Chain A
């Protein structure tokens, strides 16, 4: 029973890993807290890096779901994704 958390490039550079699994937490807000805690343990300023990142669950931005209250299920991937890139 796990949720995968994937980090942005900048977060990965600072943290040393791109993704990690956590036990299923109820909502996206909880997953974000876990990420903040994990990165915080390494002295990383999470807020600064997360400010420009959208959060997606299985590729869909949470803003198109129920925001930070979006519920999570076993197998979901929560991704911090660079919001705008071009095309």
Chain B
């Protein structure tokens, strides 16, 4: 077995209450690394078109990669892959916490859950004894994610769902510690299987090809991270809430259901404001991570709890025209405890508020008014009253109540917190990302809006190139499995120290802006490992990973996801943005919406797809994806 892998997959069938260990396929590991990549391959091979996302035949796949189980910073993440009940296409989500570490220690690269139990159950795996138990979980059913984890056996690492998953809220997530695999409705799939929790334990050590080199190099990287302006300072000091003031200043902070990109009081939602007024502590949250982006706040009746991160501050703050952090803190806690994705939740609440305002729905919710929001979040999590409709997400609510012009979703997934009208590459990424409107499948906005060296976000240059390399890289990162924040370290400290108003800055960004094909070619070059994650993979597995290798693997994964979606009936027509984003200017001086129609043909070409967005035979042959 290649080093870095436990070498086995655990398959559990809840219908028959049986399990088996099968060997990890080395060829698949070489082609897809692990995590999201390996999971996508399994999902594609094991399902047929039209499989019911909430039925017993939809596999729920938990997958780790070769970096998991090591002490590499930001490496305690696992991927969950399944067919999404929210979009009907590929579903995946990644999560920090400690479950990935637990899986690897238990000797599991991948855990595949199929079938459906006839009553609530939980799975307990003792990897050292090869012991797998399917245990009754009636006593846990109905409990929140926080309490559930306290009631499960100590020393184990857990992945659990809350009431939202049990009630098949289509954007329910899976929680490990205080982190959540939030997107795609993976928690609803777990709930549909009547599976409340998975607990893993073991003492297996990760075998590496060159442990000494890995250890020494990791010390260097840890120091680099600690001294890095974004990872060691901004995110470490303010958490991801530090992003609020930047996106607000650049008019891309979702406000009033994406009507605007700027809120005059957004500063009160920022990480800086949180530090001055609400912060009661900092938690490392994910094992071995020096960034410590998690914030702790205090809420009435609950004490010290995990605070909201950027997406929650935006979607449940400015997007609802709420700027009192205390409200967002409370709603964030509620959503986490119920086990729900706060991006989709916030977007759905914002949509309901606009429907209400226009007289299309009596939701008793209004922009700028916190009244009724807590109750509605509870109703959604338990599918009560109108909450049962809102539990289905923006797309389905718009199909029932109208308002498609201002329904903010892509492929059925609610869009995250970067308004693409002021961030064109991010718009192309939203439109084409296989799981729907999400930013961590590429994070193109970092190159044009929120990073230290940003090109003009509002012209056409490079906007069809950046998403391609970023999506490929993110596919690889999510297969190792690392946190996407690792990519923010790729821009060195010296660049951060440049005056953003200087001529040097302008020259560099102008050159970058005009580097399209060259940039893609440079990223695609196979050579020696340069970046830390390439070196880590190389030290651990003994195979060589460079930027070019990762681009190729990422491209393979991305295209396989695309093939999954096409098999489910998606077409180029699904590569779009909400009408509001395409047609309405968002701020003073802007003439129109996002110019997606001018960018998509070039994006398809860059991807090696035909004009209809279908991967060509040549592309599939090159990636080894031909039937």
**Interface of A toward B, CB cutoff 8 Å:** 6, 8-10, 12-13, 18-19, 51-64, 67-68, 75-77, 79-87
Would B446 and A87 count as touching, CB distance under 8 A?
yes
Name the one of A8, A55, A57 contacting B501, with C-beta atoms under 8 angstroms: A55
Measured CB to CB, the nearest residue on chain A to B586 is A59
Closest chain A residue to B229, Cβ basis = A84
- Determine the distance from Cα of A55 to Cα of B446 in the docked complex, in whole angstroms: 17
Q: A68-B501, A83-B500, A87-B488 are known contacts; what are 18 more A-B pairs with Cβ within 8 Å?
A: A6-B249, A9-B272, A51-B499, A58-B587, A58-B588, A63-B500, A63-B501, A64-B456, A64-B509, A75-B588, A79-B249, A82-B245, A84-B452, A84-B496, A86-B235, A87-B243, A87-B445, A87-B451
| Chain A to chain B contacts (Cβ below 8 Å), 24 pairs | A6-B249, A9-B245, A9-B270, A9-B272, A10-B272, A12-B267, A53-B500, A54-B501, A59-B249, A59-B251, A60-B457, A60-B458, A63-B501, A63-B505, A64-B458, A67-B503, A68-B501, A75-B588, A76-B588, A83-B246, A83-B500, A84-B496, A86-B485, A87-B243
Chain B residues whose C-beta falls within 8 Å of the C-beta of A84 in the assembled complex: 229-230, 234, 246, 450-452, 496
Name the A residues within 8 Å of B457 (CB-CB).
Answer: 60, 64
Across the interface, B422 reaches (CB within 8 A) one of A19, A59, A63, A77, namely A59
B501 with A85: CB separation less than 8 A: no
Cβ–Cβ contact B500 & A9, under 8 A: no
* B351 → A minimal CB distance (Å): 24
Q: How far is the CB of B416 from chain A (nearest CB, A)?
A: 10
Query: Within the complex, which residue of B234, B243, B439, B590 is in contact with A58, where a contact is CB–CB below 8 Å?
Result: B590
Do A86 and B234 touch (CB < 8 A)?
A: yes
A contact face: mostly helix, strand, loop, or mixed: mixed
Name the residue on A nearest B238 (C-beta): A85
Q: A56, B249: Cβ atoms under 8 Å? A: yes
Q: Are B439 and A87 in contact (CB under 8 A)?
A: yes
B303 interface contact, C-beta 8 A: no
By the criterion CB–CB under 8 Å, are B245 and A67 in contact? no
- The A-contacting residues of B in range 259-313, CB under 8 angstroms, are 261-262, 264, 267, 270, 272-273, 276, 310
3 tightest A-B CB contacts, nearest first? A81-B249, A59-B251, A84-B452
Nearest CB of chain B from residue A85's CB, rounded to whole Å: 4
Instruction: Check A85/B506 contact, CB under 8 A, given A55-B501, A58-B587, A59-B587.
Output: no
Most B-side CB within 10 Å, residue of A51, A80, A81: A81
Instruction: Report if A67-B501 is in contact (Cβ < 8 Å); known contacts: A59-B251, A82-B249.
Output: yes
Contact of B234 (CB < 8 Å), options: A80, A81, A85: A85
Determine the residue in chain A with the shortest Cβ distance to B590. Answer: A58
B interface residues, tally (CB under 8 Å): 53
**B410 on the A face (CB < 8 A):** no
Residue A59 contacts which of B231, B252, B509 (CB distance < 8 angstroms)? B252
> Please, how many angstroms separate the alpha-carbon atoms of A84 and B499 in the complex?
11
Distance to closest chain B CB from A23 (angstroms): 18
List the B side residues contacting A55 at CB < 8 Å. 501
B547-580 contacts to A (CB < 8 Å): none
Chain B CB within 10 Å — which of A8, A13, A83 has the most?
Answer: A83
A6, A10, A62, most chain B CB atoms within 10 A: A6
Query: Any chain A CB within 8 A of the CB of B398?
Result: no
Q: How far is the CB of A50 from chain B (nearest CB, A)?
A: 9
Q: Confirm or deny: B454 has a beta carbon within 8 angstroms of a beta carbon on chain A.
A: yes
Assess the A67–B506 pair: CB atoms within 8 A: yes
Q: Which of B230, B264, B459, B588 is A86 in contact with, Cβ under 8 Å? A: B230
Contacts of B505 in A (CB 8 A): 63
**Bound-state Cα–Cα, A35 to B245, Å:** 18
Q: Are A60 and B456 in contact (CB under 8 A)?
A: yes
Q: How far is the CA of A77 from the CA of B451 in the complex (A)?
A: 22
Complex Cα–Cα for A19 and B245 (A): 13
- Known contacts A9-B270, A58-B590, A85 near B251 by CB under 8 Å: no
Cross-chain contact B251 with A63 (CB below 8 angstroms): no
Which residues in A have their C-beta under 8 angstroms from that of B272?
9-10
Give bound CA distance, A75 to B242, whole Å: 27
B612 close to A (CB within 8 Å): no
> B458, A77: Cβ atoms under 8 Å?
no
Q: Least Cβ distance of A77 to chain B in Å?
A: 7
- Chain B residues with CB below 8 A from A19, complex form: 264
* CA A59 to CA B263, docked complex, whole Å: 12
Complex Cα–Cα for A39 and B99 (A): 50
- Residue of A whose beta carbon sits closest to that of B251: A59
**CB-CB nearest in chain A for B270:** A9
Instruction: Say how far B295's CB is from chain A's closest CB, in angstroms.
Output: 14
With A53-B500, A63-B509 as given contacts, are A85 and B246 in contact (CB-CB < 8 Å)?
Answer: yes
Residues of A within 8 A of B590 (CB): 58
C-alpha spacing A68/B588, complex, angstroms: 19
Bound together, the chains give a CA A59 to CA B505 distance in angstroms of 18
Minimum CB–CB distance for A75 against chain B, Å: 6
Q: Which residues of B lie under 8 Å from residue A13 when comparing CB positions?
A: 276
Residue of A nearest to B445 (CB): A87
Q: List, in ascending order, chain B residues with CB within 8 A of A85's CB.
A: 230, 234, 242-243, 245-247, 450
Asked if residues A81 and B501 are in contact (CB atoms below 8 Å), the reply is no
Q: Return the chain A residue nearest B454 by Cβ.
A: A61
Q: Which of B224-247 contact A (CB under 8 A)?
A: 229-231, 234-235, 240, 242-243, 245-247
